[in-house]
Amino acid sequence: MPPRAEVRGWSRLLAGVADQVLVGTVQDMHRAISDGAYRWVGPVGRPVQRVTDTAADLVYEVVRGSLRVAGELGAIVADRGAGASPAPAADRGAGAAASVVPAVDAPGVGVPADLPSPAALKARAIAHGVVGEELMQLSPELDLDVTLHAEGREVSVDAGGLRAAYPHANGRVTVFIHGLVDTESVWFTRPETGHALPDLALAHGATPVLVRYGTGRPVGRNGADLAARLEQLVRHWPVPVTELVLVGHSMGGLLVRAAGSVAAAAGHRWVSLVGDVLYLGTPHAGSWLEKVANTTTWVLRRQSRSAPIGTLVDGRSRGIKDLRYGTLEEDAFEGDSIDDLLTGAPSTDPLLEGVRHHLVVGRLRSARRHPLNSVFGDALVRARSAGGTGTVAGPAPDAGIRVVEVDASHTRLVRSGEVAGLLGEVLARRAS
């Protein structure tokens, strides 16, 4: 994204966060404290409270209005600073994949000079993954659709775009889907084996394809978009696709499941080409951390003075809230408040049939029964959830489901040597 669009988006988003989140929370807490204090005074103090509250509200509105104006001024300055030329279609928000210049074939860690830095991309991914949808609507320039990327560039999913981006493509395709608040660059972070997983796929004769998406969106919506992208990829790939291997880290594994459900119902062709799926620390039954966050905010909202803090934390993204139980459907919470106490339930959608599913379970300590592993799992996902116990993996052994335990924390799974060995084993078997 050129600096103009990025600065414009950040200006409005930061102003919105300062206005609605920071000052809005302070204002709510001020009112809650004021109500409590005057409640002790009784009816005699009500006239005084009305005067003080009106004056305080006026001050807050001036501050909040100033922040909104500052955000718009920042956006105007960004536009004027870039000159009068219109922004390319790719920078106007969602749905502009077709106009993006394709890239080269093999993935790597180098970043072309005309692309945002890794730090800028990470900041955008974090903002999109954490901030609620209402605030993100203030900055459509920072939105992230489900897209394919090669060498940091978005790839147009049509015949010409795919042919230019992957000039040495073959029929074996391995697709990598990252997790919460990440981008596709996470797959190249300090691999313990000396080879990043996409490079390992390339070494085994498969073409690696990297997916980028906004992790704050509902998992179900991203899953439906992923299904559509995979169908486009299969239809327009430079050569006939003979096999697909899907690798999802954390939330990425949930996207794979959601995409599979949508694609199976729609009769997509790509489903029949999937041979193996690797789920790296995927919270099939949810993450304990999101359950703790939900319970904490529910308790905070029970008391008037702490309610603003609970409301503040409840402003986190829908994508994070879907991690409470591994929710796969966008409309799963219709009719219920998503912020009620432990609202939701693990998805009962079956895994894709005729596919080998590898459920990778990480842990903090080597000893399987170490107390830290029992309480925290891999730091974010416990073993029963990552292993699909009671959800995708039933009590009876299933030949199509394999649970693999590795000595790696949640964030280290993408660069674990044991995970690399598993992927290498899968790709070598499919090549034979």
pLDDT in the model for residue 82: 53
Give the mean model confidence (pLDDT) for residues 322-328: 96
pLDDT in the model for residue 38: 78
Strands of 243-249's sheet, edge to edge? 153-155, 147-150, 207-212, 172-177, 243-249, 274-280, 356-361, 401-405
Name every residue whose Cβ is closer than 8 Å to that of residue 294 and which is 6 or more positions away in sequence: 321, 324, 339, 341, 342, 343
pLDDT in the model for residue 269: 97
9 within 8 A of 139, measured Cβ to Cβ:
yes
Reply yes or no on whether the pLDDT at 280 is more than 70.
Answer: yes
Kindly report the backbone phi and psi dihedral angles of residue 282, in degrees, each rounded to the nearest multiple of 5, phi listed first: -80, 130
Give the mean model confidence (pLDDT) for residues 291-307: 94
Reply yes or no on whether the pLDDT at 418 is more than 70.
Answer: yes
Print burial letters for 350-383: b (CB count within 10 Å at least 16), e (below 16).
ebbeebbbbbbbbbbeeeeeeeebeebbbbbbbb
| 170: number of Cβ within 10 Å | 15
Using alpha carbons, select from 186, 260, 250, 248 the residue that is nearest to residue 223: 260
Give the mean model confidence (pLDDT) for residues 104-119: 59
Reply yes or no on whether the pLDDT at 119 is more than 90.
Answer: no
| 337: number of Cβ within 10 Å | 9
The 10s digit of each residue's pLDDT in 303-314 is 988 999 999 999
Give the mean model confidence (pLDDT) for residues 108-117: 61
410 within 8 A of 190, measured Cβ to Cβ:
no
Residue for token digits 């693999």?
404
255 within 8 A of 230, measured Cβ to Cβ:
no
The 10s digit of each residue's pLDDT in 327-381 is 999 998 876 689 999 999 888 888 999 999 999 999 999 998 999 999 999 999 9
| 38: number of Cβ within 10 Å | 18
The pLDDT mean for the chain works out to: 87
The 10s digit of each residue's pLDDT in 56-93 is 888 888 888 888 888 788 878 877 765 444 444 334 33
> For the domain 144-286+345-431, what is the CATH code?
3.40.50.1820
Residues of the chain with pLDDT > 70: what percent? 89
pLDDT in the model for residue 21: 86
User: From start to end of 240-300, where are the E strands?
Assistant: 243-249, 274-280
Give the mean model confidence (pLDDT) for residues 12-22: 85
pLDDT in the model for residue 319: 97
376 within 8 A of 270, measured Cβ to Cβ:
no
pLDDT in the model for residue 289: 97
What does the alpha-carbon distance between residue 334 and residue 246 come to, in Å, rounded to a whole number? Answer: 30
Tokens matching residue 263: 């694609």
**SS3 for 91-136, per residue?**
HCCCCCHHHCCCCCCCCCCCCCCCCCCHHHHHHHHHHHHHECHHHH
408 within 8 A of 417, measured Cβ to Cβ:
no
pLDDT in the model for residue 101: 35
Reply yes or no on whether the pLDDT at 410 is more than 50.
Answer: yes
pLDDT in the model for residue 40: 77
Give the mean model confidence (pLDDT) for residues 29-37: 84
The 10s digit of each residue's pLDDT in 219-252 is 999 999 999 999 999 999 999 999 999 999 999 9
Largest Cα span, the chain: 86
Q: Indicate the range of 163-172, 224-233, 397-406 predicted with least confidence.
A: 397-406
Reply yes or no on whether the pLDDT at 110 is more than 70.
Answer: no
Reply yes or no on whether the pLDDT at 104 is more than 60.
Answer: no
More confident residue, 52 or 86: 52
Residue 2 confidence class, pLDDT cut points 50, 70, 90:
low
Kindly report the backbone phi and psi dihedral angles of residue 270, in degrees, each rounded to the nearest multiple of 5, phi listed first: -65, -25
Q: Are strands 172-177 and 207-212 parallel, antiparallel or unpaired?
A: parallel
Task: Return the bridge partners of 248, or none.
Answer: 177, 279
